[in-house]
């Protein structure tokens, strides 16, 4: 079953509540940049970065960003893909909040974390609206030492 958050985005009150709730765990925690994973992570990440008065950094599929990039391969349920980030998007030591709409197998987030770390920055947490626990993404990220925050999960696909 496909889980979609675009109807949440179209509801002004629901969208605002989702952003506020995604921000809540990070009150008082130092964050230097917000990183969003393609594509709905751009919507959420941009809104969160705006609320925190921080810069936003996109991580995109290969070939979508202009300029010099670094890349990371990752596995999908149905194959492999490559994610990229600008090679100057983050500075060593910066604290990063990584954002996306859905956590499934965790492959995209894992690739994003590796890209952030290649630039010398640190992912302080990964925030999602939805977790699909049976697919194991949260366990993968936590095994990597990551803090994971989700607003809801859908068990029993």
77 labelled catalytic = yes
Q: Mutual orientation of helices 40-52 and 12-23 as an angle, nearest 10°? A: 70
**142 assigned to active site:** no
Q: Is residue 71 part of a domain?
A: yes
- Indicate whether 105 belongs to any domain: yes
Query: Is the distance from CB of 128 to CB of 101 less than 8 angstroms?
Result: yes
The answer as to whether 146 is a domain residue is yes
Does 2 map to a domain?
A: no
Of the pLDDT bands very low, low, confident and very high (cuts 50, 70, 90), residue 129 is very high
Which candidate in 13, 16, 40, 138 is catalytic?
40
Which residue's structure tokens are 């509801």? 11
Strand partners, 81: 74
Say if 3 falls within a structural domain.
Answer: no
Catalytic residue among 16, 77, 84, 122: 77
Q: Does 141 fall in a domain?
A: yes
Q: Tell which residue, 105, 100, 64, has the closest CA to residue 84.
A: 64
| Number of Cβ atoms within 10 Å of the Cβ of 5 | 19
How many distinct structural domains can be found in the chain? Answer: 1
- Please choose, from the candidates 102, 105, 96, 121, the residue with its C-alpha nearest in 3D space to the C-alpha of residue 41: 102
For the segment 104-120, the average pLDDT, to the nearest whole number, is 97
Give pLDDT tens digits for 76-86.
877 899 999 99
């Amino acid at each position: 079953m496909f889980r979609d958050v675009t109807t949440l985005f179209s509801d002004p009150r629901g969208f605002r509540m989702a952003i506020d709730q995604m921000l809540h765990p990070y009150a008082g925690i130092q964050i230097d940049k917000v990183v969003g994973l393609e594509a709905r992570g751009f919507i959420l990440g941009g809104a969160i970065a705006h609320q925190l008065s921080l810069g936003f950094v996109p991580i995109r599929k290969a070939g979508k960003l202009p300029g010099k990039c670094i890349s990371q391969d990752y596995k999908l349920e149905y194959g492999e893909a490559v994610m990229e980030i600008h090679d100057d998007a983050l500075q060593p030591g910066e604290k990063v909040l990584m954002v996306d709409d859905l956590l499934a197998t965790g492959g995209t987030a894992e690739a994003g974390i590796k890209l952030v770390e290649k630039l010398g920055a640190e992912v302080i947490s990964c925030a999602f609206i939805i977790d699909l626990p049976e697919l194991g993404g949260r366990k993968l990220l936590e095994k990597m030492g990551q803090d994971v925050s989700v607003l809801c999960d859908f068990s029993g696909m």
